[in-house]
A and B are shown apart, each in its own frame.
Chain A
Amino acid sequence: MSLEGWTPQLGPYLTLEEVVEHAFDYRGNVTVVSTDGTETVGYLFNRDAGAPEPFVEMFDEAGQGPIRIRLADIATITFTGKDTAAGNSWTAWLERKDRERAEKAAASGA
């Protein structure tokens, strides 16, 4: 299931650290909302919860970076960008190919 469009509800059942892990695994842009209300949109490619000052790292929408944001400064993260890993399976490709072959065969037989 894709997380595209997800706005996590942080609380006792979902911590910011867990959302950061999801964002790290996500192959699309996310929006990092800081505690001061500023938003950074981009690809979150790294995080370190074990660092003396835990952080995430991003390239913004223009590809600028790496931008480092302290975990302590993050209010939440939303999954605003398209999930680039979703869809496009090999099975779908094989099905399309089979369909095309069948259509070709039907056309040449007609």
Chain B
Amino acid sequence: MLAELGLAMLWLAAALAGLQLVAGSVALTKDGEGLGGIVRPVAVVQGVLAAAAFASLIWLFVQTDTSVKLVAENSHSAKPLIYKIAGTWGNHEGSMLLWVTVMGLAGGFVALVERRLPERTMMATLAGQAFVSLGFYAFLLFASNPFQRLNPAPQEGNGLNPLLQDPGLAFHPPTLYLGYVGLSIAFSFAIGALVTREVGPAFARAMRPWVLGAWIFLTLGITAGSYWAYYMLGWGGWWFWDPVENASLMPWLAATALLHSASVLAARNALRAWTVMLGVVAFSMSMVGTFLVRSGILTSVHAFAVDPRRGGFILALLAINIGAALVLFALRAGTVTEGERFEVTSREASLVFNNVMLSSILGIVLLGTLYPLVTEAMGVKVSVGPPYFTPMSAVFAVPMLVVLAIGPLLRWRHDRFKRVSPVLAAPLAVTIIAAIGFAVGGVTSTMSLIALSLAPGLAVASVLPLRGRHLGRAPLSLWGMVIAHLGLAVALFGMGADGAFTKERLIAARVGESVDVGPWQVKLGAITPVAGPNWTALEADLVASYDGASPDHLKPQSRTFWAPPQTTSVSALHTRWNGQLYTVLGEETHDASSAAMPTGRWQLRLWWKPFVPMIWLGGILVALGGFLALLSRVRQDLKRRTVRARGDIRRGDREEREAA
């Protein structure tokens, strides 16, 4: 009964999205203004209904109702509760339902709180949001119904991909989705502003908190995903340039560019067409990424729920949504003037430069992700990996990081380089000293050397905007920027350290044997079988001591799940302030002459990775910076409303301009 109820609510939500589109569009015409009143309430109810449909699917998973096809295919009664819940979105249909739910809720929230845009633009925005949602509703209802029944119902479900049975990953997709779909709001705002030709500071200010929010979730999602791959896949790497990873990186790059260009538009009324374009591109990248991952068109080490039949449907959605937006852009962008001017040495110019660099990296990642497709169509199978992506993106990332150090010190509109050059002496000196130090210290990899020398300089430059200020009274948005840029420097240092300092040992050890890796001595203490709720495993007891200090025990496992049957290795990590010891237990080795003859030697893979956790610490700092900036925007917004209520509009606007 619950499944039918969920499906009914989904249909109703879809119908309301249709109503929202029609009423919102009619409200834009002269005769239809009266209809505008219903658009906001409809948007809210649509969001609530989508959320209720999603909630019923979660409940079906919690109960392991195997009469529902999706549950039978992806869950199992023996699974821990948290993974039953996570199983809801750990599959194609469920994740698409999560997608429309987040879209619906976000649209409803915009309808409730956003009051500063002109009403006509707001109607166009909500109609745009409904237009995009409708496609996804149609996709769910006609091509991938999550509530489909199975008759007869199997006694037991198939289980969830064991790789997904990890607390980090259970919450990773929803985090990314909040990011992807948050960008749909930016997209809708861009459509709304283009339709009514109201591309100005008000549009940028209305859109900015949404972009910030989506960007924070994307940052956290990418950071968590990278850490997950690092400790779960047991290969010790933190970024693979896999299509699935690129699918989340591309919208992040576009959103980062959008964030900065929206700041220019909000503060200086410049970069209008560019900002609108990025609004369209950012969400397009979310959709393109989803399409590439879900359609099975690209092979990936971790593409889940791949189905080429559905690829056609998502492609059609993509073509309609993005195609329509780009046509609108081409028709209208010419009527949107570029706004205020600025000079080459100015805050705006540095942000334009950052935008161009980010877009170039985006282009490179997109090209590299699609290239195997092109060659496969011509009959050649290739895979494009780190040898292409890393140096190509570094070509643009390095100049961007240099300008990132200078830009925040420049004034809006025009500045003299002479004014800031003395201030830049400090970060420059730190960079040169670091470069010499690491080169002399034996770092031979060029990439690592660049990262390790730029990072400290960038860190110093990041905090320079705070100099001469009373730290407690510096605006929150300034703190946000400083911390985000500092986080980038921290992450950069971790990336460089990984390439430069990592020590690796791969051995076949008997119980009782010891091995050195970097400053660690690791002894294989014992191999014991252990059992979990739905797996059995062999567990190694590794006794690891750092520089002769009292030892720590690490317990990596080689784990076998039985529903569905699959073996994965669960690494064990020990984190110190100066790095991480990473251990993986492999198979027992076998005699060369007879495959079935065990030798009593176990494969052990050990890494000592100095400073590598800084990669993810940096990611968290970047997200924290975004959060502070968002907090400051929301606070200003509330203040502005109070000020406006007092009728003192000018003061509010001036404050906002200063803080931007």
Q: Do A and B come from one complex?
A: no
Chain A residues close to B by CB (< 8 Å):
none
List B residues at the A interface (Cβ < 8 Å): none
